[in-house]
């Protein structure tokens, strides 16, 4: 047991909370998770678990078998009852809980929130890791891997086609941003007015800024050090969390809803299946940034490394997982298909 107080949720405290726009929300699980025993995270066994290869969504769009499989997995997940922690709504609720501060911290009455700090990358990695494994288990495929929405590359700068059909559909999206519209990675409520090619060029230059020139120190890329306790919340997101992450959430959500729900508000964002491909790309860019730096690329801070969260796995078991558990994706048995990162040489 760590001797210092680390930042972690108290599962007995789930309570009503507020969206970023101050709307009352309630995303707690139907039964108190505290009554449930938890087990500590263990790495998947490399002798029985294949490596899952996450590929670009715009490429997977052409693989009919893959799209059919993924569509079926989401449909099953959406059909599970709400008291099943693997159900789609419960997955979305977990994101709501940790966005709106529905849990308190352990040993403190302060709310637990995982955006706008160095908790952003590891928490979302954990969330989609379990989501991916649950989807795979629902269709009996232990090679199933979440595609990534490759919005940082001109070839992927549109909503991937798979998200327009079947169980991938979310009606709460900005319809003027559906294909062939090109993403605006720095969207700020106003349409940029750029033509498709100009917008792509702008996006590539912006990626260079967020991944390289404005992210030269770990704190700048990772976000500020959020620590346990009442004054621990720091509220300064890393470059990529701020944009394209937040901006594309906002760009995707419906312009007709007050907080651009679903994707535009964190309490509702994970109700849109595209959320998971968005975060698969965020997770990839974290890996790319670490590779570009090679050394001094993770915070060497015991408070961060020992921070733990709880997620249900594909067997509906409650798992306690520490940030230090999720820093080597090979041990987690997944990888990303190699793609070109055209912004690397795009110094504006």
Cβ contacts of residue 320 below 8 Å, gap of 6+? 38, 39, 40, 41, 308, 309, 310
Looking up tokens 């009442």 gives 230
Residue 124 known to be catalytic = yes
Q: Which two tokens stand for residue 295?
A: 């050394």
Task: Count CB atoms within 10 A of the CB of residue 255.
Answer: 15
Residue 266 known to be catalytic = yes
Q: Which of 124, 177, 271, 312 binds ligand C2O (CB under 6 A)?
A: 124
Residue 95 known to be catalytic = yes
Q: How do beta strands 318-322 and 38-40 pair?
A: parallel
Using CB atoms within 10 A of its CB, is residue 84 exposed (0-12), middle (13-18) or buried (19+)? Answer: middle
Residue 336 known to be catalytic = no
Task: Count CB atoms within 10 A of the CB of residue 315.
Answer: 10
Residue 15 known to be catalytic = no
For the bound state, the minimum distance from the C-beta of residue 279 to ligand C2O, rounded and expressed in Å, comes to 6
| Widest pairwise Cα distance in the chain | 56
Give me the catalytic one of 58, 115, 177, 308: 115
Give me the catalytic one of 58, 131, 158, 249: 249
Residue 30, classed as helix, strand or coil, is coil
Nearer to ligand C2O, 85 or 264 (CB): 264
Give me the catalytic one of 88, 98, 124, 168: 124
| Dihedral (CA of 204, 285, 269, 118) sign | negative
For the bound state, the minimum distance from the C-beta of residue 50 to ligand C2O, rounded and expressed in Å, comes to 27
For the bound state, the minimum distance from the C-beta of residue 245 to ligand C2O, rounded and expressed in Å, comes to 6
Distance in angstroms (rounded) separating the CA atoms of residues 28 and 89: 11
Residue 82 known to be catalytic = no
Q: Mask 79-118, x = binds ligand C2O (CB under 6 A)?
A: ----------------x---x---------------x---
Nearer to ligand C2O, 103 or 266 (CB): 266
Residue 301, classed as helix, strand or coil, is coil
Q: Tell me the number of residues near ligand C2O by CB under 6 A.
A: 9
For the bound state, the minimum distance from the C-beta of residue 123 to ligand C2O, rounded and expressed in Å, comes to 8
Nearer to ligand C2O, 6 or 94 (CB): 94
Report how far apart, in Å, the C-alpha atoms of 56 and of each of 133, 163, 167, 277, 285 are: 18, 13, 19, 9, 13
The residues in 33-72 that bind ligand C2O, with binding defined as CB under 6 A, are: none
Give me the catalytic one of 58, 131, 158, 245: 245
Using CB atoms within 10 A of its CB, is residue 129 exposed (0-12), middle (13-18) or buried (19+)? Answer: buried
Say whether residue 284 binds ligand C2O (CB under 6 A): no
Residue 38 Rama label (left phi>0; alpha psi -120 to 50; beta): beta
Nearer to ligand C2O, 139 or 265 (CB): 265
Residue 175, classed as helix, strand or coil, is helix
The residues in 288-317 that bind ligand C2O, with binding defined as CB under 6 A, are: none
Nearer to ligand C2O, 307 or 333 (CB): 307
Nearer to ligand C2O, 158 or 245 (CB): 245
For the bound state, the minimum distance from the C-beta of residue 92 to ligand C2O, rounded and expressed in Å, comes to 11
Nearer to ligand C2O, 206 or 266 (CB): 266
For the bound state, the minimum distance from the C-beta of residue 269 to ligand C2O, rounded and expressed in Å, comes to 6
The residues in 218-277 that bind ligand C2O, with binding defined as CB under 6 A, are: 245, 249, 266, 269
Looking up tokens 């891997």 gives 145
For the bound state, the minimum distance from the C-beta of residue 2 to ligand C2O, rounded and expressed in Å, comes to 25
Residue 245 known to be catalytic = yes
DSSP bridge pairs for 53: 335
Active-site residues, by number, are 95, 115, 124, 245, 249, 266, 279
Binding region for ligand C2O (CB under 6 A)? 95, 99, 115, 124, 245, 249, 266, 269, 279
């Amino acid at each position: 047991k760590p001797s210092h107080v680390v930042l972690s949720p108290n599962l007995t405290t789930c309570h009503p909370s507020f969206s970023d726009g101050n709307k009352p929300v309630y995303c707690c699980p139907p039964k108190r998770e505290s009554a449930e025993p938890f087990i500590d995270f263990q790495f998947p066994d490399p002798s029985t678990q294949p490596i899952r290869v996450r590929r670009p969504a715009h490429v997977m769009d052409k693989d009919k078998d893959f799209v059919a499989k993924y569509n079926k997995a989401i449909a099953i997940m959406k059909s599970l009852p709400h008291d099943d922690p693997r159900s789609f709504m419960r997955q979305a609720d977990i994101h709501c809980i940790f966005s709106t501060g529905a849990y308190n911290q352990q040993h403190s009455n302060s709310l637990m929130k995982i955006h706008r700090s160095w908790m952003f990358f590891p928490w979302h990695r954990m969330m989609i890791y379990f989501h991916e494994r649950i989807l795979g288990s629902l269709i009996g495929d232990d090679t199933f891997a979440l595609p990534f929405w490759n919005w940082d590359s001109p070839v992927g700068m549109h909503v991937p086609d798979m998200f327009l059909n079947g169980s991938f559909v979310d009606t709460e999206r900005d319809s003027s941003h559906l294909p062939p519209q090109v993403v605006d990675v720095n969207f700020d409520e106003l349409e940029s007015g750029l033509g498709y090619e100009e917008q792509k060029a702008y996006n590539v230059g912006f990626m260079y800024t967020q991944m390289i020139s404005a992210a030269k120190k770990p704190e700048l890329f990772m976000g500020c050090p959020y620590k346990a306790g009442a004054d621990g919340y720091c509220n300064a997101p890393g470059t990529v969390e701020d944009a394209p992450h937040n901006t594309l959430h906002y760009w995707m959500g419906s312009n007709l809803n007050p907080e651009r729900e679903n994707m535009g508000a964190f309490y509702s964002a994970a109700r849109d299946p595209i959320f998971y491909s968005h975060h698969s790309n965020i997770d990839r860019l974290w890996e790319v940034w670490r590779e570009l730096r090679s050394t001094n690329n993770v915070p060497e801070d015991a408070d961060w490394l020992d921070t733990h969260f709880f997620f249900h796995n594909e067997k509906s078991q409650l798992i306690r997982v520490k940030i230090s558990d999720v820093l080597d994706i090979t041990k987690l048995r997944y990888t990303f298909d190699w793609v070109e990162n055209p912004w690397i040489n795009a110094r504006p």
